[in-house]
A and B are shown apart, each in its own frame.
Chain A
Amino acid sequence: MTDAPLREPWEPLALAPPPESLRGLRAVAAYVLPPAAALAVGLVFWEVWTRARDISILLVPPPSRVIDRFLDRPGFFLGEGMTTLYEALLGLALGAAVALVAAVLMAHSRLAERALFPLAILVKVTPVVAVAPLLVIWFGFGLWPKVCVAALISFFPFLVNAITGFRSVNPGAMEFVRSLQASPLQVFLKLRAPSALPYLFAALKVSLPLSLIGAVVAEWFSGDKGLGLVIFTANYQLDTPTLFAAIAVLAVIGVALNTATSLVERRVLFWHEAFREQN
């Protein structure tokens, strides 16, 4: 036996901790590399499969053809993507704003809640696809029908989460702030609004992809531009590579929005149980 220190079999070799900047990079790599590798494997498999089986490009184009199509006109796809993103975010902002105002009313008054909440459920259960043609009749072919559909579809998650959030105040903190003779506005700003933040971020995570859906669906009905129109036209012309490229751009937009939300959430809600740093 050598006099090397005993080591449990699962214990990794002691490595000097990497410098701070490298550690950040490593953390990012640890989150990005595995899904990226899985995606790459999937794409390779897809490429090989479509070529080996000689599958019609009208049905499933190989990824290389989709990438070619995108690279033919990257400005076109990104421009249309920006249009759809703009409509979705504007709609999300509108839906969230209306929902927040309604939630403030409902969180403060049971009567308002009883009067308005059933209406909100009516909005929620009505399929937005069914309403979209009506909005085209009302608003024509411009920006607004898309914004309205995106707003309608984002509205409900914000409403429900905001009502719960404004009410989920630590009762001890509420009693303390009330004992200070705080005005209702002060109670709202100092206590209710920050308490609701975790719920609002949850709503945002649900509503962001929904708002994209809303914008795309509205573009099918009243498309003058946007990825929804690109998809609609490509579908009509059996231009499957363009269809796939548009879908891929939408997916990338969705992932980017989701990642951005998570990063902001982590910074804003550093005090929340879910994000506390271990110490």
Chain B
Amino acid sequence: MVASEHILVEGLSKVFPHRGRPLEALRRLDLRVGWGEFVSVIGPSGCGKSTLLRIVGGLLEPTAGRIHIDGRSPRDAQKTKDIGLVSQDPSLLPWRTVLGNVTLPLEVNRIDRRRPRFQPQELLELVGLSAFADYHPHQLSGGMQQRVAIARALVFQPSLLLMDEPFGALDEITRSAMRYELLRIWQSARSDRPRTVLFVTHSISEAIALSDRVVVLTPRPGQTRAVIDIELPRPRDESIERSTQFLDYAQQLRKLLKEESP
């Protein structure tokens, strides 16, 4: 049975107990993400967008609300490897080679053998690192390390990729190149089954360039302020960032984000 939505979030609230002064990170947030959609979540710092991602990824329990990933709980989806995770810090194991880092999930898991998986070499080729299989992370640039983290997240061919400001720590030039690299990876790996991406960022141009839809959150406690459909043609490359349509979207988002600041 396939649920009509890939991700369904209803009335999600998260309160962190914080020394007698509870911190309300998210308040009654609703979100629907369809199969194969690329959705970005954008909002001011501390608006709970990372918290949202971690709850969808099964790393945090919500205080209230309902989350379904393909009709199941995030924990269950995590157990069956239907979620791939990339965070801002690539968090590679420095004593392992690039190849060793990518194959780590295969070693750790006693998983259903029928589960489809990428051949590690094929994955490295996909992220453009096949020549670097035997390198160690400290010999790679930040952008290359993040590619390894993406490859590692894709090993089990998850249908859902959760990305928490994956390019946030990169320099501006690498950062904008990685956008289109990610789109290429997303689209080339898309053919066998729809791959959904939920992408957290605080970069307006990143959100527009990547997404089918952009979800704007309010400052803490995070609530959905607006959802913008990005109707730019795919495949996209850097030239769309100069199109008037792109600039209009940027203007619109900037206004939405400015309104919110107190």
Contacts and interface: CB of A to CB of B under 8 A. Distances in A.
Contact of B87 (A172, A182, A272, A276): A172
B79 A181 contact: yes
Interface stretch (A6-14, A60-68, A186-194): A186-194
Nearest to B109: A180
Contacts of A190: 93, 104, 107-108
A194 B78 contact: no
B62 interface: no
Interface string B102-113: 001101110000
A186 B108 contact: yes
A271 B138 contact: yes
Contact of A180 (B93, B94, B108): B108
B107 A172 contact: no
A47 to B, nearest CB: 49
Contacts of B79: 181
A271 B85 contact: no
Interface in B80-105: 83, 85, 87, 89-95, 104-105
Interface in A174-188: 175-182, 186
Contacts of B138: 271, 276
A179 B85 contact: yes
B167 to A, nearest CB: 15
B78 A181 contact: yes
B57 interface: yes
Contact of A279 (B87, B139, B152): B139
A194 B170 CA distance: 27
Contacts, number: 53
B199 to A, nearest CB: 18
A173 interface: yes
Contacts of B78: 179, 181
B95 A194 contact: yes
Contacts of A177: 104, 108
Given A176-B85, A180-B105, A190-B107, A170 B139 contact: no
Interface in B122-151: 136-139
Interface string A261-279: 0000000001110001001
Q: Which of B95, B105, B108, B109 has the most CB of A within 10 A?
A: B108
A176 B83 CA distance: 12
Contacts of A170: 89, 91
Interface residues of A, number: 21
Contacts of B152: 176
Interface in A185-230: 186, 190-191, 194, 197
Contacts of A197: 95
B192 to A, nearest CB: 22
Interface string A138-181: 00000000000000000000000000000000101101111111
Contacts of A176: 85, 87, 91, 152
B126 to A, nearest CB: 19
Given A173-B93, A176-B91, A179-B59, A271 B108 contact: no
B168 interface: no
B89 A172 contact: yes
Contact of A179 (B57, B107, B136, B139): B57
A11 B178 CA distance: 42
A245 B25 CA distance: 71
B59 to A, nearest CB: 6
A270 B137 CA distance: 11
Contacts of A191: 93
Given A181-B109, A190-B108, A271-B138, A172 B91 contact: yes
Given A271-B136, A276-B138, A175 B59 contact: yes
Interface string B173-199: 000000000000000000000000000
Contacts of A173: 91-93
Nearest to A269: B95
Contacts of B91: 170, 172-173, 175-176
Given A173-B91, A271-B136, 4 more contacts: A178-B59, A179-B83, A271-B94, A276-B138
24 contacts: A170-B91, A172-B87, A172-B89, A172-B91, A173-B93, A175-B59, A176-B85, A176-B87, A179-B58, A179-B59, A179-B78, A179-B83, A180-B108, A180-B109, A186-B108, A190-B93, A190-B104, A190-B108, A194-B93, A271-B94, A271-B95, A271-B137, A276-B138, A279-B139
The 8 closest A-B pairs by CB, nearest first: A172-B91, A271-B94, A173-B91, A182-B108, A172-B89, A180-B108, A271-B95, A194-B95
Interface of B: 57-59, 78-79, 83, 85, 87, 89-95, 104-105, 107-109, 136-139, 152
